[in-house]
Amino acid sequence: MTEVPQDLPIRERDAVRVVVRDTTDRILLFHTREPTYPELGTWWELPGGGMDPGETYLETAVRELREETGIVVTADQVGAPTWRRRATFKHRMYRHVQNEVVVQVRLPGPGPDVDGAERLDYEVEDYFGFRWWPIPEVVASREAFYPRNVPGLLEAFLQGAEIDEPFEIWS
């Protein structure tokens, strides 16, 4: 197993990432940066975040989607956590280590505009744009993503594959 870098204080948590898919087969990605580490540049990121104490992955997916995007869904719209991963990245002077599951949410119509009114202060700074990406464009893209292998794993995930991704040192 790859070792976690010991360069910063470590924060470990369980987290959920959400592949939000609309009826035109586009997925929602945030254009993201980390102001503390400008050398990381910018990337496209799946919505999601940490599980609060006592929360299930379903509750986390529903809450995070509402907070980060304004999109309101119910737990029965959240798919199974068939993509599992562990990753680490630098964020706000900490090294985050996350045990993540990725789930799919299918919307009943075309993707709406994002409403970030409930975002946390750091999310307002970090997320500077969003885009509804056609799935073939994600798969063919050479841009940076979090998770890094979104282009390579997206189609298999959407087809129901069980994915256990190796540990990723993202930054």
- Give the per-residue pLDDT at 1: 60
Token representation of residue 141: 């893209």
Cβ(85)–Cβ(100) below 8 Å: yes
Q: Kindly report the three-state secondary structure assignment for every residue of the chain.
A: CCCCCCCCCEEEEEEEEEEEECCCCEEEEEEEECCCCHHHCEEEECCEEECCCCCCHHHHHHHHHHHHHCCCCCHHHECCCCEEEEEEEEECCEEEEEEEEEEEEECCCCCCCCCCCCCCHHHHHHEEEEEEEEHHHHHHCCCCEECCCHHHHHHHHHCCCCEECCCEECC
pLDDT in tens, 94-118: 999 999 999 999 999 999 999 988 8
Long-range pairs for 158-165 at CB < 8 Å and ≥24 separation? 158/19, 158/21, 158/104, 160/82, 161/82, 162/82, 163/82, 163/83, 163/84, 163/85, 163/102, 164/84, 164/85, 165/83, 165/84, 165/85, 165/86
Cβ(130)–Cβ(22) below 8 Å: no
pLDDT in tens, 123-136: 888 998 999 999 99
What is the arithmetic mean of pLDDT over 16-20?
A: 98
What is the arithmetic mean of pLDDT over 69-87?
A: 97
What is the arithmetic mean of pLDDT over 40-59?
A: 97
- Give the per-residue pLDDT at 121: 82
Has residue 2 got a pLDDT over 90?
no
What is the arithmetic mean of pLDDT over 131-149?
A: 98
